[in-house]
């Protein structure tokens, strides 16, 4: 069997990565929001957001535009967030 020597820095990096992986898994499991990301021209993005709010009303699903940004080519990238059900 071949053993490799690990420096304290190697051990620290390994432990830090393990902690990040556990945190990601925990955050994913606890987060009950449904998200959809779209990249569309400005007018189509507005229409898609309206459709999303009609399909999943804010009062029932807590629907919102979580984030958005304008890309260099003028298109809009946005993420819609909602609860999976409100029944």
> Is the pLDDT score of 21 beyond 60?
yes
> Is the pLDDT score of 72 beyond 70?
yes
Confidence bin at 75 (pLDDT 50/70/90): very high
Confidence (pLDDT) at 30: 59
The C-alpha atoms of residue 63 and residue 1 are separated, in whole angstroms, by 56
Please state the separation of Cα 79 from the chain's center in Å.
8
Confidence (pLDDT) at 87: 45
Alpha carbon of 53 to those of 18, 30, 78, 82: distances in Å?
Answer: 39, 24, 14, 10
Q: Model confidence over 25-63: pLDDT tens digits?
A: 665 555 788 999 999 999 999 999 999 999 999 988 999
The C-alpha atoms of residue 33 and residue 69 are separated, in whole angstroms, by 20
> pTM for the whole thing?
0.62
CA-based nearest residue to 47, from 85, 71, 78 = 78
- Both tokens assigned to 71: 């890309």
């Amino acid at each position: 069997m071949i053993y490799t020597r690990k420096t304290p820095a190697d051990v620290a990096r390994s432990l830090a990565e393990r902690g990040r992986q556990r945190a990601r898994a925990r955050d994913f499991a606890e987060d009950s929001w449904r998200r959809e990301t779209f990249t569309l021209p400005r007018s189509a993005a507005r229409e898609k957001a309206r459709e999303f709010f009609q399909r999943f009303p804010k009062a029932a699903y807590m629907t919102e535009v979580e984030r958005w940004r304008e890309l260099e080519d003028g298109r809009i990238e946005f993420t819609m967030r909602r609860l999976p059900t409100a029944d």
